Amino acid sequence: MQAALTEARFALSTGDVPVGALVVDEAGEVIGRGRNVRERDHDPTGHAEVVALRQAAAARGSWRLDGCTLVVTLEPCTMCAGAIVLARVSRLVFGAYDEKAGAVGSLWDVVRDRRLNHRPEVLAGVLANEATALLDEFFAEQRR
């Protein structure tokens, strides 16, 4: 999670919401890194999770990321939760809950929906205080 928080801090330089993510393979090697790039790239799909999943799929040469863990500083939204399910990610680890847009228990629970054909293991709240503080500082600065 510390590495994901580092990725999140990099997003600050482009005015993006500081969310960071990485994909770790079965051997514990990082095969994908991402941070929010919506503002930088003018891309509505430029969420940290999507960026990391794309990089991991390219590294693997396959869209199937079974056996992999996605680590992200903020609870995924519906788009990202759907991408996690579709990529067959085995585990999801996230930091802060997102009460306004979270889709892993806050507003919805996409990744645990039994109607879908894949459900990753979920570990929530890892370094949540650090992730929340980074987001709180960013949004406080935006309001000034």
Cβ contact 115:87 at 8 Å:
no
Q: Is 42 annotated as contributing to ligand binding?
A: no
Distance, first Cα to last Cα, the chain: 29
Q: Is 118 annotated as contributing to ligand binding?
A: no
d(CA 94, CA 13): 22
The DSSP bridge partners found for residue 69 are 24, 91
Closest CA to 135 of 40, 9, 1: 9
Q: Do the strands 91-96 and 69-74 form a parallel or antiparallel pair, or are they unpaired?
A: parallel
Residue reference for tokens 């005015």: 15
Task: Examine the residue annotation and report whether 49 is marked as an active-site residue of this protein.
Answer: yes
Q: Is 47 annotated as contributing to ligand binding?
A: yes
Which candidate in 49, 99, 121, 130 is catalytic? 49
Annotated binding site for Zn(2+): 47, 77, 80
* Residues acting as catalytic residues: 49
